Structure 1
Amino acid sequence: MTSQENRRITDLGTLKALSHPLRMRLYRALFVARTATASQLADQVDEAVSLVSYHLRKLAEHDLIEEARGHSADGRERWWQPSSYGVSIRDEDVRGTPELVAASDALGRTLNDQRSELHRRFLDERLTWSGEWRSASISSEWLPRLTAAELAALGEELDALLKKYDTQARAAEQAGDTEGRENVAVHLYGFPYRP
């Protein structure tokens, strides 16, 4: 059963597994689909089913995904689902060794590259979306002066707010209310910088 909490990643093996670009794409695609087979995911990422199956097994070895229960399988393919609501990596968990720092940095770069690609794709295809969706899209930057504690609190509040909307959307979908719903990517960064 999928946990409704983020999985806190603290070990080197899991960081390395998730920092692989294809595995991260598969994890994201599975999170959006909620459940899928290797064949379905292979179509989404344009890779061979055998390669996708291999990488799904690697994600499962690190408990990032799990076999989905309750799906009728034809005996040839397994259904997969994320094993948690998402993942989180905290600095205090990865600063212990140079290897943990390097793996965390590699995952951060993979995520940044893929998030940037998602936004670029939206910009390239924005005219294919309705005016309502184009107007609803967000591209903002704020430059507040905060303490580290205030930044941490802001992150927690934003996380709670996004989880509220996601929970409402999932409940509506389960009730059959899918009209007008699209997958939405929300990327927000908060970090100190020196101009």
Structure 2
Amino acid sequence: MDDPTPQTRRAREGIRTLTEARALSALAHPLRSRILDALKADGPATASRLAEATDQAVGSASHHLKVLAEAGLVEEAPELARDRRERWWRLVGRGTRWSRSEISDPAALAAADAAEALVWRRTSERVQEWLAADDGTGEWTDAAFATQNWLRLSPDELRQVAEEVMDVLERWSTREAPDDDVQRESIYVAARGFPSRP
């Protein structure tokens, strides 16, 4: 049997392809995006835990969780609740992706553009925060990395590079962390490849 397409393989791995405006619009909101990041990094949580993680009021976090649930991005996890008043939330799948080539609705396309702009604005802010906080010493300074490369590729070759990069990140994000005394932190890794000029 032939290898599945990247889209088929990602769907099997729980990576949802977004094409509808509602879900993409939810991703384009800064607090909702942060809530999704917290759930991805730390696992299921209550609205109060997410409010604490994002420096927001519990009511605000609760409202945005409901919007994310209506968009099909999060769901309740009732089996984690200790009583009927406690509400836990988790991501619906392992992750999301979108591609402009797969979106036909103009509203969804505008929402995808806004979500993409937010992702890269937040990436820039995270880099600036890291650089401002880093004193240039220590193991994390030594371990942190940044890379830039210029490649000459066809569209098919660029797709192959993207798949290889995503496979490496997927392998590391799904691995079972060893049961040892080694300090581990949430690590943010971002990559993007596109035609450009120096």
> Aligned partners of 2:25 and 2:14: how far apart in 1?
21
Where does residue 190 of structure 1 map in the other structure?
Answer: 193
Of 158, 177, 183, 1:172 maps to: 177
Shift of 1:130: 5.7
TM-score, normalization: structure 2?
0.87
Counterpart CA distance in 1 for 2:33 and 2:105 is: 23
Which 5+ residue runs of structure 2 have no aligned equivalent? 1-11
Q: Is the 8 A contact 1:36 1:80 kept in 2?
A: yes
Instruction: Pick the aligned partner of 1:9 from 18, 42, 58.
Output: 18
Deviation at 1:73, TM superposition (A): 2.7
**Which of 130, 140, 143 is residue 122 of structure 1 equivalent to?**
130
Amino acid in the other structure paired with 1:57: K
Secondary structure at 1:190 match in 2? coil
Deviation for aligned residue 1:49: 0.5
Q: Which of 25, 36, 44 is equivalent to 1:27?
A: 36
Q: Quote the Cα distance in structure 1 between the aligned partners of 2:159 and 2:137.
A: 36
Aligned-partner SS, 2:172: helix
Within a 5 Å distance, the mapping from 1:152-167 to structure 2 comes to: 152-167=159-174
Cα distance, 1:77 vs. partner?
2.6
Question: Alignment RMSD, CA only?
Answer: 1.8
State how far apart, in whole Å, the 2-side matches of 1:147 and 1:16 are: 32
2:78 and 2:87 in contact (8 A); partners too = no
Give the direction of change, closer, same or farther, for the CA distance of 1:75–1:130 in structure 2 (3 Å limit): farther
Shift of 1:21: 1.1
| Alignment check: 8 A CA contact 2:21 2:109 kept | no
Shift of residue 126, structure 1, vs aligned partner: 1.2
Residue 144 of structure 2 corresponds to residue 137 of structure 1 = yes
Q: Secondary structure at the match of 1:193?
A: coil
Q: Which runs of 5+ in 1 are unaligned?
A: none
Deviations 1:71-113 (A, max 9, x none): 133332311111111110012222x233222111100111111
Assess if the C-alpha contact under 8 Å between 1:73 and 1:79 holds in 2: no
**2:3 counterpart residue number:** none
Q: TM-score, normalised by structure 1?
A: 0.89
